[in-house]
Chains A and B, each alone.
Chain A
Amino acid sequence: MAETGRLIRAAAPAPLLSPVTLLRVAIILVLLAVWEFLAHSGWLYRDVVPSLLTIGHALYGLLSSSGYYFNLGVTAGEIGLALTIGGLSGLAVGLLLGVSPFLSKAYEPYLYYLGPTPKIIFFPIMIMWFGLGVESKIALGALSCFFPVVLSVAAGMRQIDRVLIRVGQSFRASPWQMIVKIYLPAMRHPVINGIRLGLGFALIGTLLAETKLSNKGIGFLIIQAYSVFDMPRMYAMLIVLFVLAIGANALVGRLGGLHSIKRT
């Protein structure tokens, strides 16, 4: 009987939606309902919390306007260049610090403590050095991106299996071959993690610089929407921006194979 009971239980169909999915849907619905209630309650200033329909309209208007894509292109270009400059220089300095314990002890503490300082405060300096155009935004993005990359790469270098390094040395590999064939493949995950963090910081640095002083880019559009009190448009832009930022972060992690790391 017990066996039969077990078989019957095993054959029972799985629920269409798991309890976790149901709870997630419920939370989202409750949040949306609370939002809609606040929008119509009159408790807050008009338009501070616009109705979902208004935000939906603004989102549609935003995504169907060519001007938005031009500004998105400008910001994406700035972030791409910032990531390239900050990421490559971070990689080079990180390799140097990782390969030499002396250099690491001499300079890494400065980078370690400078890393978490608020980079936006350097924007006045960037304006003086690079002007009011896109260059100062790229520079701030690159500066923001540099620190997480350099610290991740240096830490990753120190974690490389000594056996791999000895194998490279026994094959008399040149410094370049050591970097390309041993170091970089062996520390792929820390490098990707650093780039992932760097991307986030580059994005924040670039966009904040745009909100402060710019005439194009998504940051400029956000602050423009604020200055004319176009709240639905601002919400729409923030939604798109958050989706893009979280999506880009996940994409870099997936491309780097971070999801395949075995957790012990």
Chain B
Amino acid sequence: MTDDSSEALQAVVQAHRREWGYVLAATVRLTRDIDLAEECVQEAYARALTSWPNDGVPTNPGAWLTTVARRAALDVLRRGTLLRRKLPLLVQDEPEPPASDDDDAGYPDDRLRLICTCCHPALSREAQVALTLRLLCGLSTAEVARAFLVSESTMAARITRAKKKISAARIPYRVPPPAELPERIDAVLDVIHLVFTTGHTAPAGADLVRRDLVERARDLAAMLQTLLPDNTDIAGLRALILLTDARRATRTGADGQLVLLADQDRSQWDSPAISEGAELVRVALRSRPPGRFALQAAIAAVHAEAPSWDATDWGEIVALYDLLVQIWPSPVVALNRAAAVGFACGAEAGLAALAALADEPQLAGYAYLSATRAEFLTRLGRTSEARLAFEEALLLTENDVERTFLAQRLAAL
């Protein structure tokens, strides 16, 4: 293979990663049929694979792909009366601007429209996540299935059902009006956050981190910020992702074992990501009251900017958790707060804060509650209680890396 052609193939891979959502969103506008648009976009990428190595990579790959995809769609639509459409056309407000075959001057960016449709409240959260990964990120059904640990046929059925609902229930292909936009953006942010947390600590399996999902979440957050630059909640989520993910390389050792925050090699943290994240936190905290992602990101920033575990400003972290619990009274947040109290005021205080959460039904079966108790009990030398707590945490954990870690802590008692 010549350098040119391998460069061209690399460009196609890049364009798949960066432009899929843009190309698809513009094509859906024309077809008003998601399946048809997906087929045409796939065809455009297939053509790029043969054309770019010979003719060179276009200056604007997204526009090139969109032109090819829309031309393919126009061909189908012109012949189209032959094809019986399975589903009604998508509803959209404005008619599609008149199409011309040689329009490569660029297309309006319809990705916000597409992601708002994927995250419509009439779709289940599972469907929202699946559609977002599939339509905005271009993941195959098999890849989406793998991300959420379900079989490919289950995921295929889920995606088909969701597309059918969009069409049959007349979910409009549009950005909601200003009154409804904040609520919709909240749903979009929840979806991106879910993709991130699923990747950051995989719920089960051999690896702690699913890098592909983390990176998709990063891409989606960056995309959303480009589309709505003034939204502080988006800035907050992006900051949270950047600051948390900046520690990725140090969260596991060479052998894949879990390394606690206290023991991570801080010189290996991704400092450009930390600077960018910290800057975004400042932007995100400007809104009053600060949103939950902004506060979580602020907490991550305190950790990221601390020179060492011992030099961490635990008082600041507890204060941020106090604010977070107010706007987001979730038991998991309360658990994190209790852990911070333990580091700020001593293991005894931490245990007391944890004890207050013992009857929280949402935390029953939550391994981190037992694991945190076990750590504080160990510090206090209450070994037999610590043993029980570690054993309980082990029963509740399905991620292999976390299990190994807990087993080692237990053995070291």
A binds B: no
Chain B interface residues toward A at CB < 8 A: none
